[in-house]
């Protein structure tokens, strides 16, 4: 069965302000794929995620994400694109003055949900999915790092996005918690979500055989977990 193409970049140069970060990026990601993006700090992993999320403008090349043309996207269309994407950040970005339930309700209301009963039911669903249903009254500062990241993942899947973009989601977590969070992403991928995860966590890459994009020397190369495992240090150096 032919899978739907969800991400396509053709001859794309990725910039941070005036600085060229990645050159001539050619990339296709299909529905249901799990893709790692790895490389040293500063090699363009986060810039790639931000380009796909329309946080960084596409100034050269062609790009399409979930049916949206990144080169031609209008400001009013960015919100529609982002409803098709669930983005998970390393630094959580939870609202510190609201509890878990209120954090998620804020997102639903901001994306057009109005019925209180439907909002309650959807929040219950996603919190159950990530194992945080019993913590919905807790404030962010009362949660561990792993618990906060589970809430962030719940927030990311609230509107049932077609793609999950994760930018160093285990970067601030201990190894055991990192494994738990990675397993949650794997489960979501097995349920049909397309996942692109930027990480320099070698243990995460080693534990999940998957397509792997390597950012190095201003370019992205497409590889596999197995080939990276054979000579990881030679490809990336110390990460």
Q: What is the pLDDT of residues 74-94, one digit of tens each?
A: 988 998 999 899 999 888 889
Looking at the domain assignment, is residue 118 inside a domain? yes
Q: What is the value of pTM for the model shown? A: 0.88
Cα(112)–Cα(131) distance, rounded to whole angstroms?
A: 26
For residue 17, what pLDDT band results from cuts at 50, 70 and 90?
confident
Looking at the domain assignment, is residue 152 inside a domain? yes
Quote the Cα angle for 232-174-231, to 5°: 5
For residue 239, what pLDDT band results from cuts at 50, 70 and 90?
very low
Looking at the domain assignment, is residue 121 inside a domain? yes
Does the structure show a pLDDT above 60 at 120?
yes
Contact 24, 11 (CB under 8 A): yes
Task: Give the total number of structural domains in the chain.
Answer: 1
Q: Which domain holds residue 112?
A: 95-160
For residue 1, what pLDDT band results from cuts at 50, 70 and 90?
low
Which single residue is written with the structure tokens 């219950």? 124
Looking at the domain assignment, is residue 202 inside a domain? no
Cα(207)–Cα(23) distance, rounded to whole angstroms?
A: 29
CA 62 from centre of chain: 21
Work out the average pLDDT over 38-66: 93
Least confident stretch, 1-10, 107-116, 168-177, 225-234: 225-234
Looking at the domain assignment, is residue 58 inside a domain? no
For residue 225, what pLDDT band results from cuts at 50, 70 and 90?
low
Looking at the domain assignment, is residue 127 inside a domain? yes
Looking at the domain assignment, is residue 85 inside a domain? no
């Amino acid at each position: 069965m032919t899978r739907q193409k969800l991400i396509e970049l053709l001859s794309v140069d990725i910039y941070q302000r005036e600085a060229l970060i990645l050159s001539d990026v050619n990339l296709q990601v299909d529905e249901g794929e799990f893709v790692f993006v790895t490389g040293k700090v500063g090699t363009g992993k986060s810039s790639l995620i931000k380009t796909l999320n329309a946080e960084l403008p596409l100034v050269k090349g062609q790009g399409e994400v979930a049916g949206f043309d990144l080169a031609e996207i209008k400001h009013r269309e960015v919100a529609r694109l982002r409803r098709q994407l669930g983005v998970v950040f390393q630094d959580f970005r939870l609202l510190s003055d609201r509890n878990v339930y209120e954090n998620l309700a804020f997102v639903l209301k901001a994306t057009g949900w109005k019925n209180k009963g439907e909002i309650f039911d959807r929040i219950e669903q996603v919190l159950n999915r990530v194992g945080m249903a019993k913590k919905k009254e807790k404030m962010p500062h009362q949660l561990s790092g792993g618990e906060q990241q589970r809430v962030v993942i719940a927030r990311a899947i609230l509107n049932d996005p077609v793609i999950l973009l994760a930018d160093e989601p285990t970067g601030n977590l201990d190894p055991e918690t990192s494994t738990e969070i990675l397993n949650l992403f794997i489960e979501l991928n097995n349920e049909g979500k397309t996942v692109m995860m930027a990480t320099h966590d070698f243990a995460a890459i080693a534990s999940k055989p998957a397509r792997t994009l390597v950012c190095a020397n201003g370019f992205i190369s497409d590889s596999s977990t197995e080939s990276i495992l054979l000579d990881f240090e030679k490809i990336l150096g110390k990460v």
